[in-house]
């Protein structure tokens, strides 16, 4: 709370400073007059509506713009963030409540510049900070597709944000600091496939929207030593670091398997990533998924992010924690994950040498033991095996003990954790 209040104050100061400075104002409000750019891959001539449907899937537009049990693209899905709760707007072609009156130009301004038809600046929870990399042509295709979906009359819900984030005008300062509208420019020294992958990963598929840490003001931090992002109470690991989500040393086929099916020989997709695969990536063409793999393999390796300062297990407590963890493991986990964490193919993954378990951040292991989980059901992963939830069967202390034990066994060497850390990550699933 205090942290938030301080950040709130910082935000106000930044906002006021920004408003005072004409230069900043210009930076925040300027239009991008650059040319619309060319997509690095010439797609075979196709009906724009069909092409738009495909692109909207890769952009995962429907996942955010559809509330559970309600019509596609009619909005209303709640998106919880540290700044408050956003509700996605209706983007069906309804004239009163959707984007029926929007022109292709208005639509482009939203995706490319983060600006609504009435000039209102848009919150970056709508990942236009990535979509700005898209070409005008692709934007027009998505526009054509969205005009073809049934119009739904449903007023968009107001966001429920804490002060000062509720002041849209603050976005002027935010944009000056963190946003530049710019279409992707292919790199001439790289292959067409690499450029297509970069275009998709940086732009439409908006991977960094989750995978990069945001600072207190909600800006994506770009540093030499990037940190992963927290999204919907999960940790999205760093895409360029080997011990996190880096795939530089994976075989291209393993990356393709992960992105297209949610499961691979090297790792699997859980939580929010499982939804990304289910809603979006599994629909990608083989060529596009391969292109993303090519680009991801080429990312310059970065070091693991700085470890967080968290309550730690005292050396004097370790023998007790280890004994308790070992006994819980034998009773509750070994039947699936194996006596030595070797896994039982295909029922449960190995825990020995598993980086999803041994990253410094223990957020995802905690959440998966508390609430269980599935990899997404896809053609490449038709019968996903589930991990059962243990929030009822085990106490926070027991979960801390068993996770500390598995993070320190069979060659694993990750920081043990305390019940306080489990408690902190025990808010009900948002996903």
Residues of span 100-139 touching ligand HEC by CB under 6 A:
107, 110, 116, 122-123, 125-127, 131
Does 333 sit near ligand HEC (CB under 6 A)?
A: yes
Q: Considering only residues 58-77, where is the footprint of ligand HEC by CB under 6 A?
A: 59-61, 64-65
Q: Which is nearer to ligand HEC, 7 or 126 (CB)?
A: 126
Q: Phi, psi at residue 330, to the nearest 5°?
A: -60, -40
CA distance 279 to 77: 15
Q: Which is nearer to ligand HEC, 7 or 108 (CB)?
A: 108
Q: Which is nearer to ligand HEC, 21 or 106 (CB)?
A: 106
CA distance 372 to 403: 14
Q: Which is nearer to ligand HEC, 24 or 239 (CB)?
A: 239
Longest dimension (CA), the chain: 68
CB of 329 to ligand HEC, least distance (A): 6
Binding residue (CB under 6 A) for ligand HEC from 172, 402, 417, 422: 402
Q: Considering only residues 287-306, where is the footprint of ligand HEC by CB under 6 A?
A: 292, 296
First to last CA, the chain: 23
CB of 148 to ligand HEC, least distance (A): 13
CA 360 from chain centre, in angstroms, equals: 19
Does 267 sit near ligand HEC (CB under 6 A)?
A: yes
The C-alpha angle 183, 187, 30, rounded to 5 degrees, equals 25
Binding residue (CB under 6 A) for ligand HEC from 305, 341, 349, 416: 349
Of the candidates 416, 263, 397, the one whose C-alpha atom is nearest the C-alpha of residue 343 is 263
Q: Considering only residues 227-266, where is the footprint of ligand HEC by CB under 6 A?
A: 231, 234, 236-237, 239, 245, 247, 258
Does 353 sit near ligand HEC (CB under 6 A)?
A: no
Contact 49, 144 (CB under 8 A): yes
Does 358 sit near ligand HEC (CB under 6 A)?
A: no
Contact 367, 272 (CB under 8 A): no
Q: Considering only residues 7-66, where is the footprint of ligand HEC by CB under 6 A?
A: 56, 59-61, 64-65
Where b means 16+ CB within 10 Å and e means fewer, 359-386 reads: bbbbbbbbbbbbbebbbbbbebbeebee
Joined together, the tokens standing for residue 194 give 């690499």
The C-alpha angle 210, 130, 271, rounded to 5 degrees, equals 25
Does 325 sit near ligand HEC (CB under 6 A)?
A: no
CA distance 340 to 350: 9
Q: What separation in angstroms does the CA of 100 have from each of 153, 273, 415?
A: 11, 32, 53
Binding residue (CB under 6 A) for ligand HEC from 21, 67, 79, 430: 79
Joined together, the tokens standing for residue 27 give 């930076």
CA distance 84 to 93: 28
Q: Which is nearer to ligand HEC, 311 or 386 (CB)?
A: 386
Q: Which is nearer to ligand HEC, 365 or 416 (CB)?
A: 365
Q: Which is nearer to ligand HEC, 374 or 410 (CB)?
A: 374
CA distance 405 to 417: 9
Does 170 sit near ligand HEC (CB under 6 A)?
A: no
**Total chain residues near ligand HEC (CB under 6 A):** 73
Does 356 sit near ligand HEC (CB under 6 A)?
A: yes
Residue number of the CB atom closest to ligand HEC = 267
CA distance 431 to 428: 9
CB of 168 to ligand HEC, least distance (A): 7
Is 422 buried (19+), middle (13-18) or exposed (0-12) by CB count in 10 A? buried
Does 268 sit near ligand HEC (CB under 6 A)?
A: yes
Q: Which is nearer to ligand HEC, 14 or 247 (CB)?
A: 247
CA distance 188 to 242: 27
Q: Which is nearer to ligand HEC, 14 or 206 (CB)?
A: 206
Binding residue (CB under 6 A) for ligand HEC from 374, 409, 419, 424: 374
Does 313 sit near ligand HEC (CB under 6 A)?
A: no
Binding residue (CB under 6 A) for ligand HEC from 82, 311, 388, 427: 388
Does 370 sit near ligand HEC (CB under 6 A)?
A: no
Does 387 sit near ligand HEC (CB under 6 A)?
A: yes
CB of 226 to ligand HEC, least distance (A): 14
Q: Considering only residues 181-210, where is the footprint of ligand HEC by CB under 6 A?
A: 201, 205-207, 209-210
Asked whether the bond before 164 is cis by omega within 30 degrees of 0, the reply is: yes
């Amino acid at each position: 709370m205090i942290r938030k209040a301080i950040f709130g104050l910082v935000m106000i100061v930044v906002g006021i400073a920004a408003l005072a400075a004409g230069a900043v104002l210009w930076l925040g409000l300027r239009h991008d007059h650059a040319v619309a750019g060319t997509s690095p891959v010439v797609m075979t001539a196709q009906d724009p509506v069909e092409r738009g449907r495909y692109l909207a899937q890769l952009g995962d537009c429907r996942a955010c713009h559809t509330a559970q049990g309600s019509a596609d693209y009619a909005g209303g899905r709640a998106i919880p963030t540290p700044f408050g709760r956003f509700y996605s707007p209706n983007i069906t072609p309804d004239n009163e409540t959707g984007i029926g009156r929007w022109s292709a130009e208005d639509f482009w301004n939203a995706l490319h510049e983060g600006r609504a038809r009435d000039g209102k600046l848009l919150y970056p929870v709508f990942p236009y900070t990535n979509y700005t990399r898209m070409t005008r042509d692709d934007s027009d295709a998505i526009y054509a597709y969205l005009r073809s979906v049934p119009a739904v009359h449903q007023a968009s819900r107001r966001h429920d944000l804490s002060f000062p984030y509720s002041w849209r005008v603050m976005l002027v300062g935010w944009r000056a600091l963190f946003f530049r509208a710019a279409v992707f420019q292919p790199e001439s020294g790289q292959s067409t496939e690499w450029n297509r992958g970069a275009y998709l990963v940086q732009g439409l598929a908006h991977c960094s929207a989750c995978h990069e840490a945001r600072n207190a003001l909600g800006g994506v931090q770009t540093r030499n030593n990037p940190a992963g992002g927290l999204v919907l109470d999960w940790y999205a690991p760093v895409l360029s670091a080997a011990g996190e989500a880096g795939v530089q040393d994976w075989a291209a086929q393993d990356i393709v398997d992960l992105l297209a099916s949610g499961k691979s020989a090297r790792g699997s997709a859980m939580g929010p990533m499982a939804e990304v695969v289910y809603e979006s990536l599994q629909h990608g063409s083989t060529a596009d998924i391969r292109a993303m793999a090519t680009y991801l393999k080429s990312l310059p390796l970065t070091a693991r992010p700085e470890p967080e300062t968290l309550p730690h297990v005292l050396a004097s407590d370790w023998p007790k924690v280890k004994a308790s963890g070992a006994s819980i493991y034998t009773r509750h986990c070994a039947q699936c994950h194996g006596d030595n964490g070797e896994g039982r193919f295909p029922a449960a993954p190995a825990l020995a040498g598993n980086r999803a378990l041994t990253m410094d951040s223990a957020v995802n292991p905690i959440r998966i033991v508390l609430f269980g989980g599935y990899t997404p059901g896809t053609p490449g992963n038709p019968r996903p095996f589930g991990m059962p939830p243990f929030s009822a069967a085990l106490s926070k202390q027991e979960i801390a003990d068993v996770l500390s034990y598995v993070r320190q066994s069979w060659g694993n060497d990750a920081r043990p954790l305390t019940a306080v850390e489990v408690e902190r990550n025990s808010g009900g699933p948002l996903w």
